[in-house]
């Protein structure tokens, strides 16, 4: 199944990291988060990627090209410019890198990817979210209900510690409160090509009218995931992911 990745945003809340590179190339454990996401899909057999570019799009193209050039041992003939590689190679991916405009909203980016996605069911995700969601179960669930769209629903992450009060007296400080019973969209979509008919044009945000209209028409289903899910919106979020990777227990790492 082809995988579309939205990688064109500015990443303004990670400004210290994104002054000179796109958010999708911010590193976790020495690898861009985009690499982690693609390795996650690869671990489930999905190796055909379509990436929507925007800000710093050339940097993403160079990064993908360098992955191909630098895996294994490299020999360079400086006189001729000939480069040869030997030893272990990297993942066997097909990656289409599509320019979708600097300030195009997410829905417009998906619409611009339509020719590259073809007429088959495809997966869609963002370039700043990691999870241990079972992508095989997600795809099976999508096939089972026959609707146009499936999103992965996750409990929202607690952002701040909670205070328990007795009047004005603080009785307890809960630094990491439990996640509640509410649900938010965690990305990791499985979609039919017909969802593009719900996207009016370049100025459309995927998270607004298209998803709302799909829900209204009974064409949007939720795959509930209570396991690990973490976005990378802030420097703190990146630190959380970095610590998990360095611990050797990164929940999203389903490959060796």
What CA dihedral angle connects 25, 2, 109 and 62, to 10 degrees?
30
Q: Cβ–Cβ contacts within 10 Å for residue 215, how many?
A: 14
H-assigned helices in the chain: 15-18, 33-42, 57-70, 106-117, 135-145, 209-216, 235-246
- Read off the pLDDT band of 161 (50, 70, 90): low
Q: Which residue has the higher pLDDT, 55 or 179?
A: 55
Pick the range with the lowest mean pLDDT from 12-16, 82-86, 184-188: 12-16
- For residues 230-236, average pLDDT: 91
Please state the pTM of the whole predicted model. Answer: 0.88
d(CA 189, CA 204): 18
Mean pLDDT of the chain: 88
Q: Are strands 122-126 and 189-191 parallel, antiparallel or unpaired?
A: antiparallel
pLDDT of residue 88: 67
What length does the chain have? 256
Q: Which residues contact 79 (CB under 8 A, 6 or more apart)?
A: none
Both tokens of 207, joined, read 């998270």
Domains of the chain: 2-246 (3.90.550.10)
Q: Is the pLDDT of residue 170 over 50?
A: no
Of 159-163, 228-232, 243-247, the one with minimum mean pLDDT is 159-163
At residue 175, the pLDDT reads: 56
């Amino acid at each position: 199944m082809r995988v579309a990745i939205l990688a064109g945003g500015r990443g303004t809340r990670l400004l210290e990291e994104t002054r000179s590179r796109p958010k999708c190339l911010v590193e976790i454990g020495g690898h861009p988060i985009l690499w982690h996401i693609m390795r996650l899909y690869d671990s489930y057999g999905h190796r055909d990627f379509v990436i929507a570019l925007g800000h710093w799009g050339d940097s993403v193209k160079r990064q993908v090209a360098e992955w191909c050039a630098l895996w294994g041992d490299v020999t360079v003939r400086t006189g001729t410019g000939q480069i040869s590689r030997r030893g272990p190679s990297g993942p066997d991916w097909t990656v289409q890198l599509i320019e979708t405009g600097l300030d195009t909203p997410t829905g417009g980016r998906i619409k611009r990817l339509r020719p590259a996605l073809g007429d088959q069911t495809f997966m869609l995700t963002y370039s700043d979210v990691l999870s241990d969601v079972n992508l095989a179960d997600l795809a099976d669930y999508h096939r089972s209900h026959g609707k146009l769209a499936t999103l992965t629903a996750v409990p929202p992450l607690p952002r701040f510690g909670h205070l328990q009060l007795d009047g004005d007296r603080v009785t307890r400080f809960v630094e990491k409160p439990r996640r509640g019973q509410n649900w938010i969209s965690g990305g990791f979509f499985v979609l039919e090509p017909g969802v593009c008919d719900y996207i009016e044009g370049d100025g459309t945000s995927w998270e607004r009218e298209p998803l709302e209209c799909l829900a209204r028409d009974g064409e949007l289903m939720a795959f509930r995931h209570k396991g690990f899910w973490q976005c990378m919106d802030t420097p703190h979020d990146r630190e959380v992911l970095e610590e998990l990777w360095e611990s050797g227990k990164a929940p999203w790492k389903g490959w060796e």
